[in-house]
């Protein structure tokens, strides 16, 4: 039996396993990143929906009117 050939076969199998493992890790990382990006986008959309609804605009308008009235009163 040739020892060099056996070593070469083992090294090739280790290289194959290593490449498969790296590919799997890359897929896992990519999948995790897309999930995190989707979660982040969902959070942003919730914040925008809460911030820019009609109540927000009305409250902001009322606050500015009150502030203007207060400044006028303090003159």
| pLDDT single digits (tens) 8-47 | 888 888 898 999 999 999 998 888 889 889 999 999 999 8
Give me the residue label for tokens 């207060």: 70
pLDDT band of residue 50 (cuts 50, 70, 90) is confident
Tell me the mean pLDDT in the region 46-60.
85
Round to whole Å and give the CA distance between 32 and 25: 10
pLDDT of residue 21: 93
pTM metric for this prediction: 0.44
In order of 46, 58, 62, the CA distances from 50 in angstroms are: 6, 13, 18
Q: Does 1 score more than 70 pLDDT? A: no
């Amino acid at each position: 039996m040739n020892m060099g050939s056996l070593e070469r076969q083992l090294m090739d199998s280790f290289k194959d396993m290593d490449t498969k493992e790296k590919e799997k890790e890359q897929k896992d990382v990519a999948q995790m990143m897309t999930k995190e990006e989707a979660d982040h986008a969902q959070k942003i959309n919730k914040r925008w929906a809460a911030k820019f609804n009609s109540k927000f605009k009305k409250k902001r308008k009322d606050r500015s009117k009150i502030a203007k009235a207060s400044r006028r009163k303090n003159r």
